């Protein structure tokens, strides 16, 4: 059976930004999880590349490192003819027809935009098609999940969500505080996505979502990207593929089968699920799903749900 993988979150661009010697083809084994060879090995048809800027950087609050990360996507990733940037629904179809790996560009935090919607519009022209408002900390738009005051969307953040809706940039709620999550859910005219979060009832981590939040995403017509972050899968001990399945099963039990996707967080994590350390190993998850679900259901989770969602949400041309 042909396996196709669509992944809604990885942080390889942040590693390329930190170490300019790194090569996306993977010439330094053990440093990058996501490389060209592993994407091909895994049968990845769609990979989201997040722009994540480390709070430790001196220029964290500016636009520069965001632009540098996008330049690296073009120079080091999209320079390979096997990959194609997905700007429109027809780009996605072309990729699938031609057997290319579709690259979706996303932001993991809009802090560097400093409230300027003009920057959001320019970033859309550079290819950004999804935006998480925050990382774990707070910024001008909203509070992230680790900000202790737990604030919601600011006025400027609300304007950003509306502009994302207008431009067709998918709003990603994964790192938001609970209050900001509900503000976005109430405000967004389009479906919302949690690109890399799991089920709070199964693993009580603030980055995971409660059943109420999961239901709100489903009701919006959005997606939940199950993530392979060990700390979000189980409270202690080594995480295994069975732990990923527990979270999948829980969301299916809530009626979320058509809203499930994958959000690996590869290159954003320092520990891995056993046997799930890079895109080349995700076939093992597919095999595990096939033991419990039909080929159609498993295929939906691996890629089908994400692809039909993007067909509906990306600009038509
Ligand atoms: Zn993240």
Its domain, for residue 96, covers: 5-313
> What's the pLDDT score for residue 91?
98
> What's the pLDDT score for residue 3?
81
Find the 196 Cα to ligand 1 centroid distance in Å. 7
Find the 265 Cα to ligand 1 centroid distance in Å. 7
Find the 294 Cα to ligand 1 centroid distance in Å. 30
How many domains, the chain?
A: 1
Find the 104 Cα to ligand 1 centroid distance in Å. 16
> What's the pLDDT score for residue 19?
94
> What's the pLDDT score for residue 284?
97
> What's the pLDDT score for residue 27?
63
CATH number at 250 reads 3.20.20.140
Q: Give per-10-residue mean pLDDT for the chain (317 aa).
A: 88 96 80 95 97 96 97 98 98 97 98 98 98 98 97 98 98 98 98 98 98 98 98 96 98 98 97 96 97 97 98 93
Q: How far, CA to CA in Å, does 56 sit from each of 18, 19, 33, 83, 262?
A: 11, 15, 22, 31, 28
Q: Is residue 7 within 8 Å of residue 263, measured between CB atoms?
A: yes
CA distance 298 to 311: 19
Find the 197 Cα to ligand 1 centroid distance in Å. 9
């Amino acid at each position: 059976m042909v396996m196709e993988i669509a992944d809604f979150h990885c942080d390889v661009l942040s590693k390329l930004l930190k170490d300019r010697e790194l090569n996306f083809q993977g010439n330094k084994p053990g440093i990058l999880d996501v490389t060209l060879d592993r994407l091909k090995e895994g049968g990845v048809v769609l990979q989201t590349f997040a722009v994540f800027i480390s709070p430790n950087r001196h220029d964290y609050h500016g636009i520069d490192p965001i632009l540098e990360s996008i330049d690296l996507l073009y120079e080091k990733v999209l320079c390979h003819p096997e990959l194609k940037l997905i700007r429109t629904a027809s780009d996605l179809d072309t990729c699938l027809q031609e057997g290319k790996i579709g690259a979706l560009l996303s932001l993991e935090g809009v802090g560097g935009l400093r409230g300027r919607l003009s920057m959001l519009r320019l970033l859309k022209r550079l290819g950004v098609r999804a935006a998480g408002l925050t990382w774990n900390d707070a910024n001008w738009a909203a509070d992230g999940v680790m900000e202790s005051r737990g604030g919601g969307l600011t006025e400027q953040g609300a304007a950003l969500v509306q502009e994302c809706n207008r431009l067709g940039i998918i709003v990603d709620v994964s790192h938001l505080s609970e209050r900001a999550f509900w503000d976005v859910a109430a405000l967004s005219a389009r479906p919302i996505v949690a690109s890399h979060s799991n089920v709070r009832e199964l693993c009580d981590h603030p980055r995971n979502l409660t059943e109420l939040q999961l239901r709100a995403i489903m009701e919006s017509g959005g997606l939940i990207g199950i993530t392979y972050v060990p700390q979000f899968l189980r409270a202690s001990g080594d995480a295994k593929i069975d732990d990923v399945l527990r979270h999948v099963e829980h969301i299916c039990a809530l009626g979320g089968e058509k809203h499930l996707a994958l959000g690996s967080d590869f290159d954003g994590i320092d520990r891995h699920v056993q046997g799930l350390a890079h895109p080349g190993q995700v076939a093992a998850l597919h095999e595990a799903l096939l033991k419990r679900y039909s080929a159609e259901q498993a295929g939906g989770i691996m890629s089908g749900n994400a692809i039909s969602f993007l067909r509906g949400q990306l600009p038509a041309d």
